[in-house]
Amino acid sequence: MTTTTWAGAHTPIQDGPGGYTGVEATPEWAEEIRRLARERNATLLAHNYQLPAIQDVADHVGDSLALSRIAAEAEEDTIVFCGVHFMAETAKILSPAKTVLIPDERAGCSLADSITADQLREWKADHPDAVVVSYVNTTAEVKGLTDICCTSSNAVDVVASIDRDREVLFLPDQFLGAHVKRVTGRQNMHIWAGECHVHAGINGDELAAKSKAHPDAELFVHPECGCATSALYLAGEGFVADDKVKILSTGGMLDAARATGAKQVLVATEVGMLHQLRKAAPGVDFQAVNDRASCPYMKMITPAALLRCLQEGKDEVHVDPAVAERARQSVQRMIAIGNPGGGE
Ligand code: 13P
Ligand code: SF4
């Protein structure tokens, strides 16, 4: 248990296995969060998978690429990253002179954990001339061994920017890798067999059953999903019209939501996404393909954790300066490639 209290909180903040609890997201809480953020000259960034209350109190909500770009240009002294650890670490790599805070440093990522720096060193030794493309969901050390980082919204553009004769090592997500390989038609691309346990759990059978039950619905599918291939199969076999299947990053889903003419959309990604989609297109019925697809790490950023973070200046994110130096170029290349206005 921490000692933090606030006049609006009726119980002290508790620490437990799922993170900090004991504070409700009331309008008074939101006002206090905004006041503390101003006091610290902090900007609050929230990923699309955050709890709705955290998204609503943030200055910016977006996908990984949009938030990295905002973090790189932020004028405030402090960046509070409501997301998972690799995202806050990326902000620190881009802005080493700023204070970067994450409301709970235990918010990790199963995908980032699926490759270590030593494993990447070994893989590179087997392919010494290959260009290494790492998804941003990796540790700072892995980024330091990478030529270009990418996110789901610019992975295709990043790989397409590489000389077609060069071999590519793509890591760590096998489903995003398969999507990029399919779209670019590139044969000399080796893909690491990692996965995100939340997206991998959204499977093809569920998608097929849902789309059969809602034949007029569009499908928005995140490329990290185990069902991305099934979605294209459904389209290929004529079960769903080709133009109804869209493989998109979380920011891409928002752009597509604003543009859609469909009455109903089935969404295959982490359930936090539904909040921004419903705000972006209130007339559309958005349904989760798997409503249990909730990322336990993203959900560790609770109202209590954010309050503690702003009150105590915790948890501060540090990246070894030598590691950050090696990683910076690969991250800067990432933010330079792809649609500069998208994702928010
Ligand atoms: P994007 O916001 O880049 O689509 O990332 C999805 C994700 O899984 C982040 O953890
Ligand atoms: Fe990592 Fe998956 Fe959670 Fe995104 S949804 S943070 S990829 S575990």
Total count of domains within the chain: 3
- Report, as an integer, the average pLDDT of 63-79: 89
174 lies in a domain? yes
Domain co-membership, 117 together with 75: no
Query: Which residue CA neighbors atom 5 of ligand 2 most closely?
Result: 295
pLDDT per position as a tens digit, 13-60: 999 888 999 999 999 999 999 999 999 999 999 999 999 999 999 999
Domain co-membership, 178 together with 227: no
Instruction: Give the domain CATH number at 166.
Output: 3.40.50.10800
Residue 152, annotated as binding a ligand: yes
Top-confidence residue, 25 or 202: 25
64 lies in a domain? yes
pLDDT grade, residue 69 (50/70/90)?
Answer: confident
Top-confidence residue, 80 or 68: 80
Domain co-membership, 87 together with 150: no
Q: Give the distance (Å) from ligand 1 centre to CA of residue 28.
A: 30
What ligand 2 atom has the least distance to the C-alpha of 86?
A: 6
73 lies in a domain? yes
Top mutation candidate among 64, 134, 150, 198 for ligand 2, by most atoms within 8 Å of CB = 198
pLDDT grade, residue 1 (50/70/90)?
Answer: very low
Give pTM, 2 decimals: 0.92
Beta bridge partners of 148: 133
- Report, as an integer, the average pLDDT of 187-196: 95
Last residue of one domain, picked from the residues 167, 195, 223:
195
pLDDT per position as a tens digit, 205-248: 888 888 889 989 999 999 888 777 777 767 767 777 778 889 99
Dist CA 235 CA 315 (whole Å): 45
What ligand 2 atom has the least distance to the C-alpha of 109?
A: 1
Query: Which residue CA neighbors atom 1 of ligand 2 most closely?
Result: 109
Top mutation candidate among 86, 102, 109, 151 for ligand 1, by most atoms within 8 Å of CB = 151
User: Tell me, what's the pLDDT at 329?
Assistant: 94
pLDDT > 70: what percent of the chain? 94
Q: Which ligand is nearest to the CA of 272?
A: 2
342 lies in a domain? no
Residue of 267, 271, 278, 268 whose CA lies nearest to 294: 271
For residue 309, the enclosing domain spans: 14-108+297-320
Domain co-membership, 134 together with 104: no
Domain co-membership, 135 together with 174: yes
329 lies in a domain? no
Q: How does strand 78-82 pair with strand 99-101?
A: parallel
Domain co-membership, 268 together with 209: yes
Q: Give the distance (Å) from ligand 1 centre to CA of residue 41.
A: 27
Q: Are 91 and 68 in contact (CB under 8 A)?
A: yes
Q: What is the 3-state secondary structure (H, E, C) of 38-60?
A: HHHCEEEEEECCCCHHHHHHCCE
User: Tell me, what's the pLDDT at 340?
Assistant: 61
333 lies in a domain? no
Residue 64, annotated as binding a ligand: yes
Domain co-membership, 44 together with 119: no
Last residue of one domain, picked from the residues 166, 195, 224:
195
Residue 52, annotated as binding a ligand: no
Dist CA 286 CA 276 (whole Å): 11
- Report, as an integer, the average pLDDT of 60-66: 88
Ligand 1 site residues (CB inside 6 A) read: 48, 63-65, 137, 151-153, 196, 224, 249-250
